[in-house]
């Protein structure tokens, strides 16, 4: 399991603005725009394998939790979490809500279980994840969120990665999900601003058949930028499937 903490790769910085007499502090503290951009993705829209593309870069996987090893095996001590939702033939496990950024600081959730979508037993309980096979390498999509004020200056920058593992099978059937999470990689917050972000599961689907389910999950990232003048609340949603598809809604 890749479960080390790599806090050194998380950057938190504060910059104190130098305002001339002609500049207005109110304009500095007023958010003009919020932009979310995709940093990396493949031509098909499905993100590249983090094992192939990211492991060599800043020990990225050290920030993630709940991942299988390169042979697709899980640590027997892995934290699977609690039941958070259920739909036809599939059940979701994890936490009800995840803190990603708190008061401008990235939160490394090494003790929290990421979201998994697994098959149900006949009694409605989730199948033991250690009885599943065929898990893919982790897939990721790097994102960047930027706030600018009325002067056009970047006042909050948040880099994060949407990650998941797909194609898990049970008794040779289905396509399930695990290790669904949003990992913060860099946060920069200017003086006078506050920033927080959380994630939770808001949708659960079976895109396959009763006999061979294909898991689908919608995760929502809620984030908030705040000054003494204004608070802006925003949300972004990401749909991932057991076939390895990742779509921003």
DSSP sequence for 34-53: EEEEEEE--TTSPPPBHHHH
At residue 109, does pLDDT exceed 80?
no
| Rounded Cα distance, 40 and 43, in Å | 10
Which helix (H) or strand (E) segment holds residue 206: the answer is strand 194-206
Is 72 or 219 the better-scoring residue by pLDDT? 219
Q: How many CA atoms lie within 13 A of 92 on its CB side?
A: 25
| Rounded Cα distance, 93 and 217, in Å | 11
Which of 11-15, 23-27, 63-67, 141-145 has the lowest average pLDDT?
A: 11-15
At residue 77, does pLDDT exceed 80?
no
Q: Is 49 exposed, middle or buried (0-12, 13-18, 19+ CB in 10 A)?
A: middle
What are the tokens at 226?
A: 């705040």
Give per-residue pLDDT as tens, 202-234: 999 999 999 999 999 999 999 999 998 888 899
At residue 4, does pLDDT exceed 60?
no
Which of 35-49, 92-106, 144-158 has the lowest average pLDDT?
A: 35-49
Give per-residue pLDDT as tens, 47-65: 444 444 444 444 444 555 5
Confidence category of residue 71, pLDDT binned at 50, 70, 90: low
Q: Where are the alpha helices (DSSP H) in the chain?
A: 25-28, 50-53
Beta bridge partners of 90: 87, 119
Q: What is the pLDDT, as a whole number, of residue 97?
A: 92
Confidence category of residue 24, pLDDT binned at 50, 70, 90: confident
| Rounded Cα distance, 49 and 195, in Å | 29
At residue 41, does pLDDT exceed 80?
no
At residue 73, does pLDDT exceed 90?
no
Q: What is the pLDDT, as a whole number, of residue 81?
A: 74
Mean pLDDT across the chain: 79
Q: Do residues 35 and 143 touch, judged by C-beta distance below 8 A?
A: no
């Amino acid at each position: 399991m890749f479960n080390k903490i790599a806090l050194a790769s998380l950057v938190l910085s504060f910059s104190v603005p130098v305002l001339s007499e002609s500049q207005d502090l109110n304009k500095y503290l007023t958010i003009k725009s919020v932009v979310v951009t995709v940093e990396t993705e493949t031509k098909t829209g499905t993100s590249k394998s983090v094992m192939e593309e990211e492991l060599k870069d800043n020990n990225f996987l050290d920030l993630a939790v709940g991942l299988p090893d390169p042979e697709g095996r899980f640590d027997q001590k892995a934290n699977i979490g609690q039941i958070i939702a259920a739909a036809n033939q599939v059940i979701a496990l994890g936490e009800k809500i995840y803190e990603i950024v708190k008061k401008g600081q990235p939160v490394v959730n090494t003790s929290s279980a990421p979201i998994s979508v697994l098959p149900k037993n006949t009694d409605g309980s989730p199948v033991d994840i250690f009885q599943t096979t065929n898990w893919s390498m982790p897939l990721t999509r790097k994102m960047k969120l930027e706030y600018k004020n009325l002067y056009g200056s970047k006042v909050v920058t948040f880099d994060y990665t949407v990650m998941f593992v797909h194609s898990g099978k049970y008794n040779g059937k289905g396509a399930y999900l695990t290790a669904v999470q949003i990992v913060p990689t860099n946060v920069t917050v200017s003086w006078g601003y506050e920033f927080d972000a959380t994630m939770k599961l808001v949708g659960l689907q079976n895109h396959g058949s009763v006999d061979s389910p294909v898991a689908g999950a919608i995760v929502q990232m809620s984030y908030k930028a705040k000054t003494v003048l204004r608070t802006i609340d925003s949300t972004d949603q990401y749909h991932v499937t057991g076939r390895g598809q990742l779509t921003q809604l």
